[in-house]
Amino acid sequence: MPGFELFGDSERKQVQDVLDSGVLMRYGFDGMRNGHWKAKELETALAHRMQTSYAHLCSSGTAALTVALVSGGVGAGDEVIMPTFTFVASFESILAIGAVPILVDVDDTLTLSPEAVEQAITPNTKVVMPVHMCGSMADLGALKSICERHGLLLLEDACQAIGGSYYGKPLGSIGDLGCFSFDYVKTITCGEGGAVITNNERFYENAHKYSDHGHDHLGNDRGAEEHPFLGYNFRISELNAAVGLAQISRLDEFLAIQKRNYTILRDALSKIPEVTFRRVPEGGVENYSFLNFFLPTEEITQKAHKALGENGVDACFYWYNNNWHYYRKWEHLLEQKSLGKLPKDIQQGLPEYEASDFSKSDHWIGRTISCLIKIGWTEAEVQQRAIKMAETIKGIL
């Protein structure tokens, strides 16, 4: 991770096909395309790889989450349960449709705690949205049981975990809906892009229409298409889809490199008794895009993170003080800072987050360091990195 590290001839060829045709839009202009439909081809390849009936591409992972929520019938005042550790896009997509993000604790998987989810359910709850952060998954068996028991939708945010699996099923395919991001720093990239996957035909029909101004996409005359409901523009371009089409054919290649590099680093740190690792639920397989480990205390973890950077070990993250990924730095959400007036459903529905107790999340995130696994590293470089990481952490302990 990320896939741009290994851009090559296959990406260039796919993009050149689009430039040669001159058609950069995914819909229409049939006669000019020379048979090239990159977005459609990528959707077919993605659905096949994810073992789902349907896939629909969007302009970003954030757009995909928004489209998925709307496609499932989520709207104003509905509550969506999400974790305290994620990317800001999680609550942005919820707020964008007038729904209410309900933050709940994570556990030692670094993802949604099923116990916390159960306690957070109210009559307004519509969706449980686990976020498979840093390459590994939530306890999907427990979460799926909760959703079935309460009649809720399970929406998997697998934006950082493509290629991972749970009891042999690809992450993103276990819930009612799943989402991916193909932005510039993901395991496979479109530059900018995202996707919704599902086995539910109604959700798919809603998704492709809603993300293109409500067009029904029936017939061959775009100007004559009907609009069964309101929509917006969350379309991906053919150029972006072309890059992704090349990259998805290389996913196994990227995953194999990530696993090799991850394993070398983990083996080195495993020899340090004070280092423990995030829990991967039984039946789960990471996509190996991050190595996530715990140190004994928050103070030691902060010192270790600082020392790693000073010793030239880059791409290691301490999320506890990160303003994109952890609730403690989300002042704009906690204080409801907005350019315009927020809808009353949001104003009245948002909990008093500044008074909320997320100490259980703090217990885990405050002791976590996550190291990005690059696919551009040579094996020798990873070996040297492993030695330096181990020596640095031992020096702190």
* Domains in the chain with CATH codes: 3-250 (3.40.640.10), 252-396 (3.90.1150.10)
pLDDT at 132: 98
Average pLDDT over residues 363-373: 98
Catalytic residue among 186, 303, 344, 374: 186
pLDDT at 36: 96
Average pLDDT over residues 290-319: 97
Q: Is 13 a catalytic residue?
A: no
* Residue-wise pLDDT tens digits, 10-57: 999 999 999 999 999 999 999 999 999 999 999 999 999 999 999 999
**Sequence-separated (6 or more) residues with CB below 8 Å from residue 30:** 220
Instruction: Check: CB of residue 154 under 8 Å from CB of residue 171.
Output: no
Q: Is the pTM of this model over 0.85?
A: yes
Average pLDDT over residues 349-364: 95
Residue 257 pLDDT > 90, yes or no? yes
pLDDT at 323: 87
Tokens of 164: 């991972």
pLDDT at 329: 95
Average pLDDT over residues 162-167: 98
pLDDT at 354: 84
The residue written with tokens 């359910």 in the block is 121
Residue 381 pLDDT > 90, yes or no? yes
pLDDT at 2: 87
**Sequence-separated (6 or more) residues with CB below 8 Å from residue 339:** none
pLDDT, mean over the chain: 97
pLDDT at 332: 94
Geometric angle at alpha carbon 268, from 267 and 270, rounded to 5°: 65
pLDDT at 223: 92
Average pLDDT over residues 123-143: 98
Average pLDDT over residues 237-259: 98
φ, ψ at 270 (rounded to 5°): -65, -20
Measure the CA–CA gap between 112 and 119, rounded to whole angstroms.
Answer: 12
